[in-house]
Amino acid sequence: MKALTSISIIAFSVILFSGCFPHQGPQANIEPAGFFTGIWHGWIAPFSLIVGLFDAEVVLYARNNTGWWYDLGFYMAVISGFGGLAFTRKQPRDSQR
């Protein structure tokens, strides 16, 4: 049952996010991708990579972007992952106290 739930969640996520993937079709030149779009594309980069293996129009990185700001958002998201950058870190408990 857990496997079916996991597969269903993954399939639903891929379908939900498929409209948000960077692409290189005729719609790609409507408006350049900015900072926040770069953050989003960085977060979904692993999924874009997998989907891009099967669909030639899905790319990892939006070619039509605002430049440095898009790059900053993209790389911040790729480096931090899902919550990898934290302003406060939990202190390890010292079991010898």
Domain borders along the chain are 31-83
* pLDDT value of residue 83: 57
pTM of the complete model: 0.64
* pLDDT value of residue 49: 86
3-state SS of the chain is CHHHHHHHHHHHHHHHHHHHCCECCHHHHCCCECHHHHHHHHHCHHHHHHHHHHCCCECCCCCCECCHHHHHHHHHHHHHCCCCCCCCCCCCCCCCC
* pLDDT value of residue 68: 93
Q: Which two tokens stand for residue 49?
A: 């990579």
In this prediction, residues 3-29 reach a mean pLDDT of 75
